[in-house]
A = this chain, B = another copy of it.
Amino acid sequence: MRNADIAEFIANHGVDLSWQDSFYQWMHENPELSLQEEQTAKHITARLAQMDCEVTTGIGGYGVTAVFRNPSSEATSADEPTVLMRADFDALPVQETTGLPYASKNDGVMHACGHDMHAAALMGLCAVLDERRDAWHGTFIALFQPAEEVTAGASNMINDGLAEKIPTPDVCLGQHVLPGRLGTVMSAPGPVLAACDTITIKLYGKSSHGSRPQESIDPTFLAAMIVVRLQGIVGREVAPSDFAVITVGTLSSGHTNNTIPEDATLVLNCRFYDTDVRDKTYAAIERVVRAECDASGCELPPEFEYSAHGELTDNTPSTFEHVRPVFDAVFGEDSIDAEPWTASEDFSEIPRHFDVPYLFWTIGTTDPELWASGEPVPGNHHGAFAPRIEALGTSTDAALAATLSYLFRS
């Protein structure tokens, strides 16, 4: 009954969200790279200023929180539940090729991972909660997080004293848009997003004039051998039933045509669902890189820098069991099981910091006919990634559904 009531409320909440599309499109047109999201944070704060909530800005960079209490006093009973929902809002160094009327105005920067939609949906949820205080009770925290793409935003907010700036949540929620049939809400218990790390490898060769390779230790040839041999780790050292990705996202060596450079840089992105596989693979990567440097006769050892660490996103089973029936009630056959997604997220650092359960789900954004056709659909991080704007409604409803599964005044 309660779940049906929540569904009924979501279908008929009566709050005017007509501003939401342009709020979203402004973000899409004005993408900002990670750690530089100044204008985006202002855009968010300006809208929150119209609501009855406690806004904190500048947390760990451009992080923003808004605390909604109901009744709206600090005296909310300790018995009342506190729910945190997080949306990220940074963009990527990708050239947009969607041709959308609201395509990016910032050359080479794009909201190619849908964070604009995450933020707009969370803002819609805030608006409904703000105007329909009759329908819920307890405390809701909207957390707008910057710098997700560089796996820095969550930890920056935490390290900047997040726990002192907001009430302690009982549960944390998050969502992500991706290719999939428009309107679907995908959820699952357990591991849903991979663990990841960025490994930056600096190789030190020896420079020479391009015509005298015998006086050089060519770091470009060395880097190429490493790139080739890294895939040998995946094919020969990882069990075929285990999940491991080693992607060289950047290879940069040399600046001119006729000088063999002094050094080269590789930036790797690695993903796993299992810590043992990860540890074995990192050991193999370091072994291969060091040995290839020896094979080239390098005089200096390579340097490894691990960064952008992302933990496994591992949905709490009890949280899934609590929220999923509400999704089923609200979305019917569009509430489906999520396959594990190979991407990674720093969302889960927040609930882990508070030591509370969490759920992270995904939203399909692809035209149903296109999806059914089996034709390739540009994915996240691709310059042609273009979520259908209708997915903004789905995202808002999913956010409402999960939040109200805890806060609905039945």
Contact = CB atoms under 8 A, between A and B. Distances in A.
Contacts of A267: 254, 256-257
A234 interface: yes
Given A216-B236, A240-B342, A254-B251, A269 B223 contact: no
Given A221-B236, A234-B231, A261 B284 contact: no
Contact of A291 (B92, B247, B253, B295): B295
Contacts of A233: 235
Interface string A118-150: 000000000000000000000000000000011
A234 B228 CA distance: 12
Interface stretch (A18-26, A47-55, A329-337, A373-381): A373-381
Contacts of A245: 210-211, 213, 240
A382 B208 contact: yes
Number of copies of this kind of chain in the complex:
4
B379 A212 contact: yes
Contact of A297 (B260, B284, B342, B376): B284
A149 B287 contact: no
A214 B212 CA distance: 22
Q: Which of A196, A267, A341: most chain B CB closer than 10 A?
A: A267
A286 to B, nearest CB: 11
Given A207-B381, A257-B250, A258-B269, A287 B297 contact: yes
Contacts of A234: 231, 234-235, 240
A10 interface: no
Contacts of A252: 251-254
Q: Helix, strand, loop or mixed for chain A's interface?
A: mixed
A271 B213 CA distance: 11
A323 interface: no
A387 interface: no
A169 interface: no
A246 interface: yes
A313 to B, nearest CB: 12
Nearest to A233: B235
Nearest to A339: B241
Contacts of A344: 211, 258
Given A218-B236, A240-B271, A93 B213 contact: no
A220 B226 CA distance: 11
Interface in A302-350: 308, 339-344
A91 B380 CA distance: 43
Q: Which of A149, A239, A258, A381: most chain B CB closer than 10 A?
A: A258
B213 A235 contact: yes
A245 to B, nearest CB: 5
A44 interface: no
A212 B239 contact: yes
Given A196-B211, A207-B381, A288 B295 contact: yes
Contacts of A295: 229, 287-288, 291-292, 295
Given A210-B381, A229-B225, A295-B295, A248 B254 contact: yes
A237 B149 CA distance: 24
A102 B257 CA distance: 27
A279 interface: no
A312 to B, nearest CB: 13
Interface of A: 92-94, 149-150, 194, 196, 198, 200, 207-216, 218, 220-221, 223-262, 264, 267-269, 271, 284, 287-288, 290-292, 294-295, 297, 308, 339-344, 376, 379-383
Given A224-B226, A250-B253, 18 more contacts: A93-B256, A94-B259, A207-B382, A211-B271, A211-B341, A212-B343, A218-B247, A223-B224, A224-B225, A225-B228, A228-B228, A240-B243, A241-B342, A249-B260, A250-B254, A251-B264, A254-B267, A259-B381
